[in-house]
Structure 1
Amino acid sequence: AVELMPIHEFDELENPRFNPLTGERLVNYWGYGTVGFFAPKAGYAASGVYGMQVDEFKALVKEFHRHGIEVFLDVVFNHTAEGNAKGPTYSFRGIDNKTYYMLKPDGSYYNFSGTGNTMNCNNPVVRGLVLEALRYWAAEYHIDGFRFDLASILGRDTTGKPLANPPLLEAMAYDPVLGKTKLIAEAWDAGGLYQVGTFPNYGRWSEWNGKYRDALRRFLKGDTGLTWEMAQRIQGSPDLYAERSPTASINFVTAHDGFTLADLFAYSNKHNTANGENNRDGANDNYS
């Protein structure tokens, strides 16, 4: 299978900063600030002809399938590109701010995403939007699965409290259109909620296993006292998923967040100084 980073329409020029070394305008290539949940990124179309991104992406998925390769999408429903109160208004803020976003009693935004706003995912209207978007990608593009960025937000109520049975997660698990798709959770968020091993799964959800990542990195760099934990991790983490399917744990060493695999073993400390973020992006616990 191949998992694509976000391909929903996004604004690559949303970052107002400049490279402190070259003075060049910084461009957002990642796509985690969604503008349109139903639109493939127009700038990714090879032809450059308006509207061809739909046909081209369908052709891409079909070609992957012809070679026996499933296609997963990294999707971002925990926040949008509208940012905090000082951010741009593209859609939801102007349509119905208090419905689409989690708001504090004073009207400011809850920021469990770390980006300035948090989608009000378990509001019935927002829940319907998310489900319709997922059905669209599954039915129209034949997407095989979805990886949900900061998925723990999808289990919070309108005030940010974690729900035991989040309506959105339950609806996804039992939705007939999504029945054959694979659902993968990044089982934490920027608000401190960490649910690796405890994410509401309904027998359907798999999880990025952050504990596998950390244990393996520490083991490879020579940390001691990891015998029991490494035994758990290479067995599929039975301490976390004993009552669940072997596919519950998605094991990984590194991903788009933080160091690449090569840099992970080349550097002891991060030094991301060229993007104007003052080296705050990426994990501080490199275990490298």
Structure 2
Amino acid sequence: MKHKIPVEWMQRYESEAFARETACSGPLGAAYTPEATTFRLWTPLAEAVSVDLYPHGNGGGRPEVHPMERDAQGVWSITLPGDQNGRYYTYTVQIDGKTQETGDPYAVAAGVNGLRSMVLDLDAAAPAGWQDDRRPDIPPQKRVVWEVSVRDFSQDAASGVRPDWRGKFLAFTQPGTTLCGDGTHPTCLNYLQQLGVGYVQIMPMYDFGSVDEAKPLTKQYNWGYDPINFNVPEGSYSTDPYHGEVRIRECRTMIQALHKAGIGVIMDVVYNHTYRHENVLNHVMPGYFFRENEDGSYSDGSGCSNEFASERPMARRYLIDSVLYWAKEYHLDGFRFDLMEIYDVETMNLLRAALDELPGGESILMYGEPWKGGPSVLQQPAANKDALSLLDDRIGVFCDNTRDAIKGHCFYAREAGYVNGRPDMFPEIRAAVTAWCCSDALPEHAPGQIVSYVSAHDNYTLWDKLLLVRTDHPDYNVFDPAVLAENRLAAGIYLTCMGIPFLQAGEEFARTKKGEDNSYASSALLNQLDWKRTAACPGLVEYYRGLIGLRNAFPRLSAPDPDTPRAVRFLPVEAPLVGWVLPAGPERAAWKALCVFYNPLAETRVVSLPEGRWKLLSDGTTSALWQGESTVCTGEFSLPSCSAVIFGLL
């Protein structure tokens, strides 16, 4: 049976009169001071509302009930004197004669499993020195993003993280961890600092519903793309989910530790749908925050049974308020939007402008998936690849064109790409080099709008994909030299493409999920980073590390302006080879120009270098040659099979 709302409600929500009469710009949620707390809830349909106070965040207990009063815009409010810090609350809302107890959509703290909201002095839930925490200055050339789940990062006992912090926020704060405590092979934060990435993208860390916070974490697993409370950190990632202030303090401590290490933090935000139809948004305004079909049933552009109506004024305000809240109160450095095609272009541009108004807000990254999970009824221009020219040029998209050209289609396990059996994809690889700015495949855009990648949490890991193309019966734990070469070539391509490079955590040590392409609810063992693989294939880790450092040494490769791609000169090499040169820009660079060749073939190929003396920076196997004395080349060079070879002009 489909969930539906009355068609007349839907028509009312869509009317200009309703938007005009119910528009609210004042504060919402629980506004705390030591002297009093004011509760405000926007619910114009309600006939009666009360706030119910509890001493505890879990079930049981009789509430202290306080009826609230309505204003002209449909905001119900009450001010309760005295210090309410630490008290839990719900709202009881009566709509169309039906009564529902619910949490607060604007809650910033909650009890176990997020069922009861919490009044909290946010300043008291800050770690020591939080007031001095600042977003690190990360120039474009250091914008390499490493994506990981809080859980996956440290669940492995070999991570060296203390047992009570494994799978928790605090695992990111433990310095000096090594593999099984061997003192030699870095793990976790220690590893990230040595790898050299600029940002860590954290998979959902807001309060989600698929993990029961009251049960041991080791007995359950989920990625968390199922929001309960959009503005509350997930309790299962804290050391104490029962006291709402703990998860906030520990989440901030994680961010603080990454900032201290010079690493930015990007939050994966999922406003495109909720965990279920019965949620805080629907409890206070049934159907308003979600799009409906003509018969009143929910549109399902998310593939998760509902989709967020970002174009409706108060839904748009909610999304923007939430992102700004995380940016201000958690000092976040960026936001990655799940299924961004569900959002309308106007909302995303308004959000970009709102972030820019924050102190240092222009440095906050914004990008997302430019697709959706199913048919949507959205009528306005959607935030997808076709709308790149309509979006602010600092709103980016994941580029599946680059991803699939390099290693094959993400949904078809046996379909090859340029590095693993389809050398005829070389025209797409050439387009990827310039972030598709010189191609008709995408509308006009800036290179900084393109996120170049070959693997993320969705679909097969890069290692698994390469093995599945090569053999029907892969052994995922054998480091086949031919597959390692394909892996290096894939990395050598996207880490030398313009735009923002992005990688799934562990891609650089051949992360495997044993061929599972959708592990969102698989075991923790399958999903966790296997830190022993860093010691098993150190050459691959060092290869990624060297490329990340090389990119940082040549800033023009990451220049966000739309003119830079036109400075790339492609060399007359025999197909399917790709060769190109980019002169250094106005910023200081280690070399006067960069020259790059890609060879996807199983045999060597001889190419002619442009005029000049070229230092060999990466030979396709070792990418850190640029760090010391190495070969200086002129004339011809023999490209190894299946390799990306990089030179710098002296």
TM-score bin (small chain): 0.7 to 0.9
Deviation of residue 246 (structure 1)?
Answer: 2.7
Question: Structure 1, residues 92-128: CA drift from partner, whole Å, max 9, x if none?
Answer: 2221122111011211110000000011111111111
Residue 396 of structure 2 is aligned to residue 225 of structure 1? no
Cα pair distance change 1:142/1:266, threshold 3 Å: same
Instruction: List alignment gaps of at least 5 residues for structure 1.
Output: 15-25, 84-88, 156-165, 278-288
Query: For residue 117 of structure 1, what is the amino acid of its counterpart?
Result: N
Deviation of residue 275 (structure 1)?
Answer: 8.5
Cα pair distance change 1:73/1:232, threshold 3 Å: same
Which residue does 1:34 correspond to in 2? 227
Equivalent of 1:261 in 451, 458, 462: 462
Counterpart Cα distance in 2 of 1:78 and 1:276: 19
Residue 215 of structure 2 is aligned to residue 215 of structure 1? no
Deviation of residue 241 (structure 1)?
Answer: 6.5
Residue 294 of structure 2 is aligned to residue 105 of structure 1? yes
Residue 453 of structure 2 is aligned to residue 252 of structure 1? yes
Which residue does 1:5 correspond to in 2? 203
Deviation of residue 13 (structure 1)?
Answer: 4.3
Which residue does 1:52 correspond to in 2? 246
Counterpart Cα distance in 2 of 1:276 and 1:71: 24
Counterpart Cα distance in 1 of 2:329 and 2:205: 15
Query: For residue 225 of structure 1, what is the amino acid of its counterpart?
Result: D
> Could you tell me the TM-score, scaled by structure 1's length?
0.79
Query: For residue 259 of structure 1, what is the amino acid of its counterpart?
Result: Y
Cα pair distance change 1:31/1:98, threshold 3 Å: same
Cα pair distance change 1:276/1:246, threshold 3 Å: closer
Which residue does 1:158 correspond to in 2? none
Which residue does 2:369 correspond to in 1? 186
Give the 3-state SS of the residue equivalent to 2:321 in structure 1.
helix
Query: For residue 44 of structure 1, what is the amino acid of its counterpart?
Result: Y
Question: Structure 1, residues 64-94: CA drift from partner, whole Å, max 9, x if none?
Answer: 11111000011001111124xxxxx131222
**In the TM superposition, what are the counterparts of 1:53-202 in structure 2 within 5 Å?**
53-83=247-277, 89-155=278-344, 166-175=345-354, 176-177=357-358, 178-191=361-374, 195-196=384-385, 198-199=387-388, 200-202=390-392
Deviation of residue 226 (structure 1)?
Answer: 1.3
Which portions of structure 1, spanning 4 or more consecutive aligned residues, are displaced by more than 6 angstroms? Answer: 272-277
Question: Structure 1, residues 22-50: CA drift from partner, whole Å, max 9, x if none?
Answer: xxxx9452110100110000110135562
Deviation of residue 203 (structure 1)?
Answer: 2.0
Max radius of gyration: which structure? Answer: 2
Counterpart Cα distance in 2 of 1:13 and 1:53: 15
Equivalent of 2:434 in 214, 221, 235: 235
Give the 3-state SS of the residue equivalent to 1:135 in structure 2.
helix
Contact 2:461/2:517, CA 8 A, preserved across alignment = no
Counterpart Cα distance in 1 of 2:519 and 2:350: 42
Deviation of residue 11 (structure 1)?
Answer: 1.2
Give the 3-state SS of the residue equivalent to 1:226 in structure 2.
helix
Query: For residue 446 of structure 2, what is the amino acid of its counterpart?
Result: S
Q: Identify, as 1 or 2, the structure richer in strand.
A: 2
Query: For residue 120 of structure 1, what is the amino acid of its counterpart?
Result: A
Counterpart Cα distance in 2 of 1:209 and 1:73: 19
Cα pair distance change 1:82/1:47, threshold 3 Å: closer
Counterpart Cα distance in 2 of 1:185 and 1:273: 19
Over the matched positions of the two proteins, sequence identity in percent amounts to 25
Instruction: Identify the range of structure 1 (231-240 vs 62-71) with the bigger mean alpha-carbon deviation.
Output: 231-240
Cα pair distance change 1:262/1:119, threshold 3 Å: same
Deviation of residue 229 (structure 1)?
Answer: 1.1
Give the 3-state SS of the residue equivalent to 1:81 in structure 2.
coil
Cα pair distance change 1:171/1:275, threshold 3 Å: closer
Cα pair distance change 1:194/1:70, threshold 3 Å: closer
Counterpart Cα distance in 2 of 1:72 and 1:242: 26
Contact 1:213/1:254, CA 8 A, preserved across alignment = yes
Q: Please tell me the root mean square deviation across aligned C-alpha atoms, in Å.
A: 2.7
Counterpart Cα distance in 1 of 2:419 and 2:253: 41
Greater relative contact order (Cα < 8 A, sep 6+): 1
Cα pair distance change 1:38/1:261, threshold 3 Å: same
Give the 3-state SS of the residue equivalent to 1:207 in structure 2.
strand
Instruction: Identify the range of structure 1 (198-207 vs 62-71) with the bigger mean alpha-carbon deviation.
Output: 198-207
> Could you tell me the TM-score, scaled by structure 2's length?
0.36
Contact 1:183/1:204, CA 8 A, preserved across alignment = yes
Counterpart Cα distance in 2 of 1:245 and 1:274: 34
Counterpart Cα distance in 2 of 1:276 and 1:181: 31
Give the 3-state SS of the residue equivalent to 1:184 in structure 2.
strand
Residue 405 of structure 2 is aligned to residue 204 of structure 1? no
Counterpart Cα distance in 1 of 2:398 and 2:427: 20
Query: For residue 186 of structure 1, what is the amino acid of its counterpart?
Result: E
Query: For residue 111 of structure 1, what is the amino acid of its counterpart?
Result: D
Counterpart Cα distance in 2 of 1:67 and 1:169: 30
Which residue does 2:48 correspond to in 1? none
Contact 1:196/1:210, CA 8 A, preserved across alignment = no
Instruction: Identify the range of structure 1 (221-230 vs 69-78) with the bigger mean alpha-carbon deviation.
Output: 221-230
Cα pair distance change 1:45/1:276, threshold 3 Å: closer
Deviation of residue 225 (structure 1)?
Answer: 2.0
Query: For residue 102 of structure 1, what is the amino acid of its counterpart?
Result: R
Query: For residue 456 of structure 2, what is the amino acid of its counterpart?
Result: A
